[in-house]
């Protein structure tokens, strides 16, 4: 009984750890994408690259689909 409980706790702990890690990785990727978009459109070369930001890019920055609905998991 005790071993089974320990296994259940261990499995839940590992699942929680990997879920948090995956969320952090997705957040870092999103932050890098936002930074790249901002640099391309607001950086020193903004005049040369103006017009690269699409409606989809802007909606994605705010976590929205192009029709205004929020992304879901």
pLDDT digits (tens, 9 = 90+) for 11-33: 889 889 888 888 889 889 888 88
Find the mean pLDDT for residues 45-67.
69
Provide the pLDDT for residue 27. Answer: 87
Where in 1-73 does DSSP place strands (E)?
none
The rounded distance, in Å, linking the Cα atoms of 6 and 12 is: 10
C-beta of residue 71 within 8 angstroms of C-beta of residue 65: yes
Provide the pLDDT for residue 45. Answer: 63
Q: Whole-model pTM above 0.75?
A: no
Within 8 A by CB and 6+ apart from 69, the residues are: none
The rounded distance, in Å, linking the Cα atoms of 2 and 45 is: 63
End-to-end CA distance of the chain: 36
């Amino acid at each position: 009984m005790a071993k089974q409980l320990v296994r259940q706790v261990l499995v839940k702990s590992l699942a929680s750890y990997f879920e948090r890690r995956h969320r952090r990785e997705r957040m870092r990727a999103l932050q890098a994408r936002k930074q790249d978009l901002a640099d391309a459109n607001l950086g020193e070369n903004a005049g040369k690259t103006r017009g690269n930001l699409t409606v989809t890019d802007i909606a994605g920055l705010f976590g929205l689909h192009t029709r205004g609905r929020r992304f879901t998991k």
